[in-house]
Amino acid sequence: MQRFVRVMMMMVLLAAVGLSNVALAGGGSSKPTDETAETETRTPEQEAAVAYNLGISARNKAWKLEKQLETATEPKQQEKLDKKLSKSWKTAEANFERAVSKNPTLYEAHSDLGYCLRKQGRYDEALAAYDRALEIQPRYAEAIEYRAEAYLGLNRLDEAKQAYMLLFKGQSDQAPPLLEAMQQWVEAHSANPGNAAGADIEAFSAWVTERVEIADQTKSVSQLKDADW
């Protein structure tokens, strides 16, 4: 009799366990997925890296959209591309913001945040982001160059010139793109001065022309030195 009772109790216990397993399988409770578990175990630095890479992806998409917009001719197509472009810049901005919030020392993210802000015409905010990047890494040439382009957007020509000289003397690869941006500024403001004074445009144009000549001479000398005689 006692054995019968023990058997019955065992059957009841097994049935209870079985019902419990069924409840789990049916969604009564769930284990975290691998993705959730991975997110929960990431360090702030790792989360910053993930956000930064997402920002780079959105930035690259914006670049592609800019090229498409340059060749678009239909007004509807231009409007559609412009909306997509604006969305991509905002997406990139949000991811870079998240990256620096998780890892405030990630100077590349501060610089790329400044880039996104500048592309949206928010020059003062962009300068703040570039300044932060250069506080962390003063020799970060990309931030120096992009900050100078923000200076150009605000017609702060002397500061843009100082940035170019710093890059040029340091033989940075970022010097030529900045000089090209300066040439574009002169071309645009010669046709439409906007808030820039005519005398400032003329003086800056002369300075840029001089720097182009010096850069070409320097490039020629460098090529001669590197030649295999």
Q: Are residues 158 and 209 in the same domain?
A: yes
- Residue 133 shares a structural domain with residue 65: yes
pLDDT the model gives residue 12: 41
pLDDT on residue 33: 36
- Express each pLDDT in 123-170 by its tens digit: 999 999 999 999 999 999 999 999 999 999 999 999 999 999 999 999
Give the helix ranges, DSSP H, for the chain. 2-25, 34-41, 44-71, 75-102, 107-119, 123-136, 141-153, 157-169, 175-191, 198-226
Task: Decide if 116 is inside a domain.
Answer: yes
Q: Is residue 28 part of a domain?
A: no
Three-class SS state of 9: helix
Task: Give me the domain span that covers residue 116.
Answer: 44-138
User: What would the pLDDT profile of 192-202 be if each residue is shown by its tens digit?
Assistant: 988 888 889 99
32 belongs to a structural domain = no
Average pLDDT over all residues of the chain: 84
Q: Is the pLDDT of residue 213 over 90?
A: yes
Instruction: Tell which residue, 171, 181, 168, 96, has the closest CA to residue 133.
Output: 96
pLDDT mean over 61-71: 96
For residues 114 and 149, membership in a common domain is answered with no
The stretch 169-196 carries a mean pLDDT of 94
Q: Which of 138, 173, 194 is the endpoint of a domain? A: 138
203 with 127, same domain: the answer is no
Tell which of 87, 119, 138 closes a domain.
Answer: 138
Q: Which residues contact 93 (CB under 8 A, 6 or more apart)?
A: 55, 113, 116, 117, 120
Domain assignment present for residue 24? The answer is no
- CATH of residue 115's domain is 1.25.40.10
Residues 101 and 147 in one domain: no
Q: Is the same domain home to 180 and 126?
A: no
Query: Do residue 134 and residue 50 come from a single domain?
Result: yes
* Mean pLDDT confidence for 171-199: 93
User: What was the pLDDT predicted at 36?
Assistant: 43
- pLDDT (tens digit per residue) in 3-43: 433 434 444 433 443 433 333 223 333 333 334 445 578 99
Cα gap 124→118, rounded to integer Å: 8
206: pLDDT strictly greater than 50: yes
The structural domain count of the chain equals 2
Asked if the structure places residue 76 within a domain, the reply is yes
- Looking at 79, 114, 138, which one is the last position of a domain? 138
Is the pLDDT confidence value at 54 over 90? yes
Q: Is residue 105 part of a domain?
A: yes
Q: What is the pLDDT of residues 82-114, one digit of tens each?
A: 999 999 999 999 999 999 999 999 999 999 999
195 belongs to a structural domain = yes
Q: Is residue 156 part of a domain?
A: yes
